[in-house]
Amino acid sequence: MSSSDKSAVAAYVIACKKHGVKRPNPALVKYFKDEEPVAEDIEELDLSGNYVGNRGILALLDVIESSLPNFRCLNISNQKLYNTDLSEDSVKGNATVDRIVDVLKAHPTANALDISNNPISNYAGRKLLGLVQLNSRMCRVELHDTRVDFDLRKRIQSQCEKNTVALWENQASTPEPEEDAPFGEHKQWAPTTKGADLTALGAAKVRRATVRSEGIDPEEAKKYVPPVIEKSEAETRLICELLSRNVLFGFLTSKDLKGVAGAMQQKIFYKDDVVMAQGSISNTLYIIQFGNADIIKEGQKVFVKVEGTAVGEIELMYDTPCVATVRVSSERLVTWALDRETYRNLVMGTAIRRRETYMKHLEAVPFLESLGSYEKLQVADALSSDEYQAGDHIIRYDTEGEWMFIILEGVVEVFGRDSEGQSTKVCEFKEGDYIGELEFLNNHRTVADVVAKTEVHTAKLNRRHFEMCLGPVIELLKRNTHHPKYEYYQNVLSKNNQS
């Protein structure tokens, strides 16, 4: 029976029997039966306030996989989910976690998961990292109050941010691209109706039609000077902190964030004020500093926006009518607002300038000389940036090496281990040098600490992209390891081979 022949409630009841659920969840049955009789219209499911258990989630995943072709967002926070990887030596994971990842990895439209407030640990974290790396539509994974460590959560968030930007850029291309025309140069762009919808959790359940917006001239975006609205240093720091938590701005550097913060204007609303009305036109993004706002769809409250979250993202980028009503539920709602023109020019200009900066540095990297312009462009598009203060660790000794770093600015120090296992300085690297590639080339754990000596800016390449982007120069990289600067590394490698 195809999804079009079977209602969502029928699919759910069958799945419950399959997974041994004694009594299908009444709230879900009512929702499937009364609220959304057409399975194709269901885009989100929020179980944060409705405990269904492991078997219930497995049943729901079957429904998503087989009967909800346009599904996007799953909220399974507060479900007591766990996995058995409570020790780092374990490789066996909980079946529910594995199933969540498998379904969202293959689903054609799924793009968001909230799995917060569950006692899952690093096994689940590694699975979710693989999910966002393999499924480029996944733009949001929430992991608050879990046992997943900070580094894994940061990597998952970073990949989601890159996926979001990539989807936006892809959807912003015209349906009939002109040869060699860069993004934004055309008169109009139109995301496809099957493209991933980037609306945050809890937004619309009905699919939107294709929308159009005027394109942006890349050269003008590069030269764009945003307005500067006067505010205190404390307010600027606060806005930058709020922006850094949002997926739309997470890829920006601290300098870029300050530019965005400078262009934002404070807007204050009061209880029951309507910030945005469903079906109306809005050209403003609001980042919430204080207070709560209800997201209301078809007269029904479906989500609550809180401090640090945003409303108006999709309307801002795609010029589409508001997908839901946003109404203030607290006594007071303090927001910082950014208009469409400023947002799109700032983000576009930043993306273009960053690519050009990366290309300039890549041109100066000796081992990349044999790559053509197109291959270097692929490397540039795979890079992401990081900033470090003096004393910060960029690479830690005896860990899994996941990144190769190109130093854009600053100086780093390398600390190996002497014969007694004590930390000892080996060498320094500066602008234009690269670190972390040795672990990729020889497939071993890191053999030294790399610490920022000054303020350092890097561009980094993930291990997954390494061979794909740098295959033609891997042999050259291996030859470069015989440089005197790598004497410590060669000694360590020789000892490891002998042992």
Domains of the chain (ranges plus CATH)?
Answer: 8-171 (3.80.10.10), 188-345 (2.60.120.10), 364-498 (2.60.120.10)
Given a contact cutoff of 8 angstroms between Cβ atoms, the answer to whether 99 and 65 are in contact is no
Q: How far apart are CA 450 and CA 413, in angstroms?
A: 6
Distance, CA of 340 to CA of 281 (rounded, Å): 12
Rounded distance between C-alpha atoms, residue 177 and residue 46, angstroms = 38
pLDDT the model gives residue 293: 94
Task: Provide the pLDDT for residue 148.
Answer: 83
Count of CB atoms situated within 10 Å of the CB of 175: 11
Is pTM beyond 0.75? Reply is no
> What is the bridge-based pairing of β-strands 112-114 and 73-75?
parallel
pLDDT, residue 87, reads 40
Q: Among candidates 234, 232, 254, 233, which has minimal Cα distance to 243? A: 254
Per-residue pLDDT tens digits of the chain, which is 499 residues long: 344 445 778 888 899 988 888 888 888 888 887 654 567 778 888 888 888 888 889 999 999 998 888 888 999 988 888 765 444 333 334 788 889 999 999 998 898 999 988 888 888 888 899 999 988 889 889 888 788 877 788 889 888 888 887 777 665 544 444 433 333 333 332 333 333 333 333 333 333 333 334 455 666 766 778 889 999 999 999 898 888 777 667 667 788 888 889 999 999 999 999 999 988 888 899 999 999 999 898 788 888 888 888 888 777 766 678 888 999 999 999 999 998 888 877 776 777 777 788 888 888 777 677 677 767 777 787 788 888 999 999 999 988 888 889 898 999 999 998 888 899 998 999 988 888 877 777 777 888 999 999 999 998 887 767 666 666 666 666 666 566 666 776 676 666 665 5
What is the distance between the alpha carbons of residues 482 and 456, in angstroms, rounded to a whole number? 26
Q: Are the C-beta atoms of 109 and 197 separated by less than 8 Å?
A: yes
Say what the pLDDT of residue 473 is: 63
What pLDDT, on the 0 to 100 scale, is given for residue 224?
Answer: 77
- The answer to whether 160 and 275 have CB atoms below 8 angstroms apart is no
In this structure, what token pair is assigned to residue 468?
């794909």
Query: Which of these, 50, 74, 55, lies nearest to 131 by C-alpha position?
Result: 74
